[in-house]
Structure 1
Amino acid sequence: MTDFADTVTLVLVFFGALMCFAAGVGLLRFPDVLARLHAATKPQIFGLIVICFDIVLSSPGIGTITMAVAIIVFQALTAPVSAHLVSRAAYRSGRFRPESLIRDDLAVRMASGDEASAGAAPGRGDGTGPDDASAGRPTD
């Protein structure tokens, strides 16, 4: 039974490491920010899930399972959100290849003047947020 468990561990760790390696190669080789973010989030999360699953199989216990689930949940929540925010910043600064986009919904929203719903941050001083107390008032 030990040989089977070792084989399963070998396969899972190898697959997880391969996915994490693919994420690293994608970060170095892909041409623009949007493609790099895709490479940084998808394979990295899948590799992490596989490695956490292997850890749970290797040493099952309440503490191990709880920790693995917490790691997976927090990574699955934070990686896409941070990638989304970085991609919005890259889009607004023009640091992407427009020809790589199939459909550009954000350009339509920004062109129509719907900038507040397109992601303007509150309190930036541009009159779009609730923290801008002087928005629309003349200054002294």
Structure 2
Amino acid sequence: MIEVIVSALLLAGAAFMLLAAVGILRLPDLPTRMHASTKAGAMGAIFTMGAVAFYFADSVVFARALAIVVFILITSPIAAHVIGRAGYFTGTPLWSGTIKDELRENYDPETQTLRSGYEDSSDGQP
């Protein structure tokens, strides 16, 4: 029974990692590629760690697999955000079909400053 669970988790992990690789190759611009690689890649790694925990059935291995999953869940979205932001600020072009660019009116590429959506006022109100 454990072999079936491990096999299913490994197949699911491999499928998500394959989906991430296809997304990186097929999607048109940096933000969509970042989305594919971080979401599907993280899920693939999480399923693989689940398979490792089930296969070895040891508390030490389970604790390490859980620590790896938590680390991936914490670092993956942050890294994707930082890389995507750096790509945007260095001028990496967006896909021509992009409908909404919320940073366009708030980012000045000449001074490389980003302002918030709130205007400064003397009384502290937006």
TM-score range (shorter-chain normalised) is 0.7 to 0.9
Q: Which residue of 2 aligns with 1:14?
A: 11
Counterpart check, 1:91 vs 2:80? no
Q: Hey, what does 1:125 align to over in structure 2?
A: none
Q: Distance in 2 between matches of 1:56 and 1:101?
A: 41
Using the size of structure 2 for normalisation, the TM-score is 0.77
- 2:75 corresponding residue in structure 1: 78
Select 1:108's aligned residue among 94, 105, 109: 105
Q: Give, in angstroms, the shift of residue 92 of structure 1.
A: 1.5
Larger relative contact order, structure 1 or 2 (CA cutoff 8 Å, min sep 6):
2
Identical-residue share of aligned pairs (%):
29
Letter in 2 for 1:28: L
Gaps of 5+ in 2: 117-126
- Could you list the runs of 4 or more consecutive aligned residues of structure 1 that deviate by over 4 angstroms after TM superposition? none
| Shift in alpha-carbon separation, 1:116–1:93, aligned structure 2, 3 A | closer
- Counting matched residue pairs gives 114
Q: 1-side partners of 2:97 and 2:54: how far apart?
A: 41
Please report the TM-score for the alignment, with normalisation by the length of structure 1: 0.71
Task: Provide structure 1 residue ranges, at least 5 long, that are not aligned to the other structure.
Answer: 119-140
Change (3 A) 1:51 1:37: same
- Give runs of aligned pairs for residues 1-140 of structure 1, distance below 5 A: 4-97=1-94, 99-110=96-107, 115-116=113-114
Structure number with larger C-alpha Rg:
1
